[in-house]
Structure 1
Amino acid sequence: MCLATAAAFTMVSRVWIVCVLLLLSLSSCRCAVITGACDRDMQCGVGLCCAVSLWLRGLRMCTPQGLEGDDCHPYSHKVPFPGKRQHHTCPCLPHLVCARYNDNRYRCTSDFKNIDF
């Protein structure tokens, strides 16, 4: 009985040592966790802006600029924006415009004929 307990203790000790060594090796490597969280547009890549998250209050995420048909905000058109964005949508891509449709929703469009001024 004593030999079985000693063997189990030795096995647990070895597993523990391996886990500690693994954790130490991970903490000494140069790595980053990329979550997409941001504070300002400058932290996001090309074609992205730092927009307010719809799911987590107070969190901003790097979000793609609006494509044709995407929802947009009519007063949000500058990228990069110098401050913190207050909207959950990014401005439209440069070749598109944010226009109001008949249903009173704003969407990115390249169809300049149907813009409701």
Structure 2
Amino acid sequence: SRRGIKILPGLLPLTHHPSPQACERDLQCGSGTCCAISLWLRGLRMCTPLGQEGDECHPFSHKVPFFGKRQHHTCPCLPNFICSRFLDGRYRCSVDFKNIDF
């Protein structure tokens, strides 16, 4: 019997990930992204995806769109997540249980 082929996330075709785009403000970036400071080049801002579950975040990030210049290298969490402090002291995006319909 043949086993199904597993695709690792890092091996997806590059067409699914547009090349990083330099920016100054959120409005220059596409949906689902914000204009955050680059991790590699401090003076550069890049269009960066909004935080998904488990991604590091900053608890005081401005919502999208923010009309000023962001001061962090992370974007706010996606709308269905909140930026929570974990036991290790780091902040990460996690499910916002207040907004879930049970």
* TM-score interval, normalised by the smaller of the two chains: 0.7 to 0.9
Alignment of 1:103 with 2:72, yes or no, is no
Equivalent pair of 1:73/1:89 in contact (CA under 8 Å): yes
Please tell me whether residue 78 in structure 1 is matched to residue 60 in structure 2.
no
Tell me which amino acid in the other structure corresponds to 2:28: Q
Confirm or deny: 8 A CA contact 2:34 2:75 kept in the other structure: yes
RMSD: 1.6
Q: Which runs of 4+ in 1 moved over 4 A?
A: none
> Which structure: larger Rg?
1
State the match for 1:51 in structure 2: 36
The structure whose residues are more often strand, as a share, is 2
Higher relative contact order (CA 8 A, sep 6+): 2
Change (3 A) 1:77 1:35: closer
Q: Provide structure 2 residue ranges, at least 5 long, that are not aligned to the other structure.
A: 1-18
Kept after mapping to 2: 8 A contact 1:77/1:92: no
Question: Structure 1: where are the runs of 5+ without partners?
Answer: 1-33
Structure whose residues are more often helix by fraction: 1
User: Distance between the aligned counterparts of 1:100 and 1:35, measured in 2?
Assistant: 28
Name the % identity: 73
Secondary structure at the counterpart of residue 42 of structure 1: helix
Is the contact made by 2:20 and 2:47 (CA closer than 8 Å) also made in structure 1? Answer: no
Instruction: Count residues in correspondence.
Output: 80
What secondary structure, in the 3-state scheme, does the structure 1 residue paired with 2:23 have? coil
